[in-house]
Structure 1
Amino acid sequence: MRLKDRVAVITGAGSGIGRAIALSLARRGCHLALADISEAGLRETAQLAAGSGVRTSCHRLDVADREAVRAFPQEVLARHGAAHLLINNAGVALGGTFEQVSEEDFDWLMNINFHGVVRMTRAFLPHLHQADEARIVNLSSLYGLISPPGQAAYSASKFAVRGFSNALRHELEGSRIGVTVVHPGGVATAIARSARAPAGVPEEEVRRRKALTEKLLRMPPEKAGEIIVGAIEQDRARVVVGTDAKIVSLLERLSPVHYWRLLKHRVKE
């Protein structure tokens, strides 16, 4: 896909992988419609992209807000006139076993991580059909390939993104819209630090879990962003980002039922 002078809509663009993708696209001359719930983060991303000379707009958006998402395409079209890339990156984390996580917290996460992707896709799909070439890029996770204990809600949301993306790709075959699903491994973002903890779990246990997770987040977001944008240019259907994710993906394919017996010994408590 040629990216120069295209328009990319990116959710979760105020930090982490979303910001890295935005800056990687800007370096290729792609115009940006940046969306995030954090206005401060959006301003910082826009400032970092300013040197690339691309047209950038900032939009405060909560992907869990059905009406706001429904109205969002018109904001983008008013500023940019078109949309060619939709990158569904916004997401949140929630630690804890299924029995620890409340129904309300489980629904909160699914509403952002999965239903947000579906809402954004539904809102922008008619406009993507108007482009001569377009692509939807959905961020799943390493936990959309494997399902560790303590990640029931997060893993469920990321498997849902994976399944939705794959079915959508098949449905859009023959159209001008491609679909890419991305499975990042341990990328050094703030997602672990900002993860919501279940009520009733001792603070010491929460800190221990977050510290353990952060040890696994090693790849710089900038590198992940370059890998993802390179995959967009190559029209790839699936991207597994990071050596850790590639190894775990292979292990899951070789032993889809018992892989955790092997992996849990690698995770240092």
Structure 2
Amino acid sequence: MRPLALAGSTTVITGAASGMGAAVARLLAAQGAHLALVDHNAEALRTVAAELAATTVTTHVVDLRHDAAVFASAAEITAAHPRITALITCAGSSMLGNLDQLTMEEMRWLTDVNLWGTVSITKALLPALRAAPAAHITHLASVYALAAPAGRIPYSVSKYAVRGFSEALRHELEGSSVSVGAVYPAGVRTGIILHGRYAEAIDPAVATRAAAAQAAMYHTEPEDAAARIVRATVRRRARTMIGREARLIDLLTRVAPVRYWRVLRGPLREAIDTTTPAR
């Protein structure tokens, strides 16, 4: 499969106002790509776009949970950008809490953001991607789409589903001009866990402690992750691990698909503890 030439064509990035999405936008702008940046945070999106004044960039403020808004935004994007060759879905959030603590509404909210937002923007932009001689879709999954820890049920559910969606869509589009891949990051130093949500039933001090314990295990800088994401998109890779931990967990779940939790339980003990009172 021939690599993509992103310079001079448009890449659509969701979650572009912060974290890995913003880092991907900066890297692609430096490489001469045109950009359509999507996020629900209008102010932060404007700030990122202002940094990229040297390139062709449009901003699109949309809540990916709402299908009508997503398809309307996709129409705006395709009208402004006649040649779209890549879609990179970085939008997402997190949710702390065990099943007893979480409400159905809280779990559905995260699934709407992480899964259905990814599905809807992909479906809305697929006709434009098909119109290109060659195009690639990169979905951001997670190391928690390889291994499912306790205390992260809605996040793992949503990310396992993104993995399944990516693989099924890749098979559907086999033989077409559009390729599909998923990226599995582990421990990227973004604000997702510290600024994510937690079940209302959890003591805020306990949630803060658990989130800090999780964040302390993150070692990869967003810029390094962005470089891997861009490389995977250009090379049209089906599966990309980001971080040493992701490669180890990928191996562990293959070798011990049932018993891997025996290995992961200890390192994650504090990060998944949302019940012990804070001292």
The TM-score by the shorter chain falls in which range? over 0.9
Match for residue 43 of structure 1?
Answer: 46
Match for residue 97 of structure 1?
Answer: 98
Residue 83 in structure 1 maps to residue 77 in structure 2: no
Match for residue 148 of structure 2?
Answer: 147
- In the alignment, the residues of structure 2 paired with residue 230 and residue 205 of structure 1 have an alpha-carbon distance, to the nearest angstrom, of 38
Q: After TM superposition, what 4+ stretches of structure 1 lie above 6 angstroms from structure 2? A: none
The equivalent position to 1:24 in structure 2, one of 12, 23, 27, is: 27
Any idea what SS the aligned residue of 1:84 has? strand
Cα pair 1:76 1:83 within 8 Å, conserved = no
Is there any run of 5+ residues in structure 2 with no aligned partner, and where?
A: 271-279
Residue 187 in structure 1 maps to residue 197 in structure 2: no
Residue 157 in structure 1 maps to residue 158 in structure 2: yes
The alpha-carbon deviation at position 204 of structure 1 amounts to 2.1
Cα pair 1:134 1:177 within 8 Å, conserved = yes
- In the alignment, the residues of structure 1 paired with residue 200 and residue 24 of structure 2 have an alpha-carbon distance, to the nearest angstrom, of 34
The alpha-carbon deviation at position 232 of structure 1 amounts to 1.3
1:20-78 Cα distance to aligned partner (Å, 9 max, x none): 1111111221100001011121112112222xx32001111110011111111221122
- TM superposition score normalised by structure 2: 0.93
Cα pair 1:76 1:82 within 8 Å, conserved = no
Match for residue 11 of structure 1?
Answer: 14
- In the alignment, the residues of structure 2 paired with residue 119 and residue 268 of structure 1 have an alpha-carbon distance, to the nearest angstrom, of 35
Match for residue 138 of structure 2?
Answer: 137
Matching of residues 234-249 of structure 1 within 5 Å: 234-249=235-250
Match for residue 233 of structure 1?
Answer: 234
Any idea what SS the aligned residue of 2:17 has? coil
1:25 partner amino acid: L
Is there any run of 5+ residues in structure 1 with no aligned partner, and where?
A: none
Matched positions, count = 267
1:128 partner amino acid: L
Any idea what SS the aligned residue of 1:137 has? strand
Cα pair 1:172 1:178 within 8 Å, conserved = yes
1:212-260 Cα distance to aligned partner (Å, 9 max, x none): 1110122110010001101111121111111111111111111111111
Cα pair 1:25 1:229 within 8 Å, conserved = yes
Match for residue 274 of structure 2?
Answer: none
Cα pair 1:37 1:62 within 8 Å, conserved = yes
Cα pair 2:10 2:86 within 8 Å, conserved = yes
- In the alignment, the residues of structure 2 paired with residue 49 and residue 220 of structure 1 have an alpha-carbon distance, to the nearest angstrom, of 20
Cα pair 2:45 2:59 within 8 Å, conserved = yes
Match for residue 65 of structure 1?
Answer: 66
- TM superposition score normalised by structure 1: 0.96
- In the alignment, the residues of structure 1 paired with residue 206 and residue 23 of structure 2 have an alpha-carbon distance, to the nearest angstrom, of 31
Cα pair 2:102 2:201 within 8 Å, conserved = no
- In the alignment, the residues of structure 2 paired with residue 238 and residue 6 of structure 1 have an alpha-carbon distance, to the nearest angstrom, of 23
Point out the more displaced range, 158-167 or 243-252.
243-252
Cα pair 1:178 1:235 within 8 Å, conserved = yes
1:152-182 Cα distance to aligned partner (Å, 9 max, x none): 0000000000001001101101000010101
- In the alignment, the residues of structure 1 paired with residue 253 and residue 218 of structure 2 have an alpha-carbon distance, to the nearest angstrom, of 20
Percentage of pairs with the same residue = 40
Any idea what SS the aligned residue of 1:114 has? helix
1:132 partner amino acid: P
